[in-house]
A = this chain, B = another copy of it.
Amino acid sequence: MRNLLLYLRFDGTAYHGWQVQKNSVTVQQTLQDALETILRQRPPVTGCSRTDAGVHARSYACNFHTEHTIPSENLVRALNACLPGDIAVLSCREVPSSFHARYSALEKEYLYQIWNAPVRDPFQRGRMLHVPCPLDDAAMDKAARYFLGRHDFASFRAAGSSVTDTVRTISCSQVRREKEQVFFRVRGNGFLYNMVRIMVGTLLYTAQGKLQPVDIPAVIDSLDRAAAGPTAPAHGLYLNRILYDEAT
């Protein structure tokens, strides 16, 4: 039995996230449909992460088991011919049978993109959050640094989420500006439901003076969702990459 690891890139605008749902088009279902067309089998595909509706991925990992002997390069070409233009398969390779796209992941990296200019950019529509008023990206970067390290991020998860262990370790958290574009890059060993989007909403509060960067530790320590900022829209969020052990 082969275990195949695929890397995808997708524009999430038209999808209700990764995971198969009744009555909604998802990336997982679209991929499984394409695999069925090619392999005449419908192996369940394991994704590295659930993603929300409208969230994008620059590099999304998933794996599935199959007896099929199709060479990996041929599968990439066939999938790209079958899939719609907003999903692309970047690569495919065989991995050890124990590999699991979600449980084997060491870290995930997200990118949140903001278009910070008085007028929207039609080419960034659905791809970046448009914020017309000037943002203090230096304050945002200062605030972002407080997310680094091991913390209980209970303040940064969607209300009603049922996960009991809310401690996560963040290894990269920074804000950079390139002209009108402001990027938040965050990497960690795991993320709670809506955690990155709530981080962004909170950073936007510091950019607008509603919070000071030095207030972030108190927001974290409160373990209270109400102490953090609002959940930023999905369409600025990208799963940027996923890190596995080199052995896989």
Binding site for B on A (CB under 8 A): 9-11, 56, 76, 80, 85-90, 119-123, 125, 127
Contacts and interface: CB of A to CB of B under 8 A. Distances in A.
A88 B119 contact: yes
Most buried by B among A56, A86, A120, A122: A122
A35 B88 CA distance: 40
Nearest to A90: B119
Contacts of A121: 9, 88
Most buried by B among A89, A120, A127: A120
B80 A122 contact: no
23 contacts: A9-B121, A9-B122, A9-B123, A10-B122, A11-B122, A11-B123, A11-B125, A56-B123, A76-B119, A80-B119, A85-B120, A85-B122, A85-B125, A86-B122, A86-B125, A87-B122, A88-B119, A88-B120, A88-B121, A88-B122, A89-B119, A90-B119, A123-B127
Q: What is the interface of chain A mostly: helix, strand, loop, or mixed?
A: mixed
A123 to B, nearest CB: 6
Contact of A120 (B80, B119, B123, B125): B80
Most buried by B among A10, A88, A90: A88
A224 to B, nearest CB: 35
A132 to B, nearest CB: 9
A115 to B, nearest CB: 11
A183 B123 CA distance: 17
A90 to B, nearest CB: 6
Contacts of A10: 122
A247 B10 CA distance: 47
Q: Which 4 pairs, one residue from A and one from B, show the smallest C-beta to C-beta distance?
A: A11-B122, A85-B125, A86-B122, A88-B119
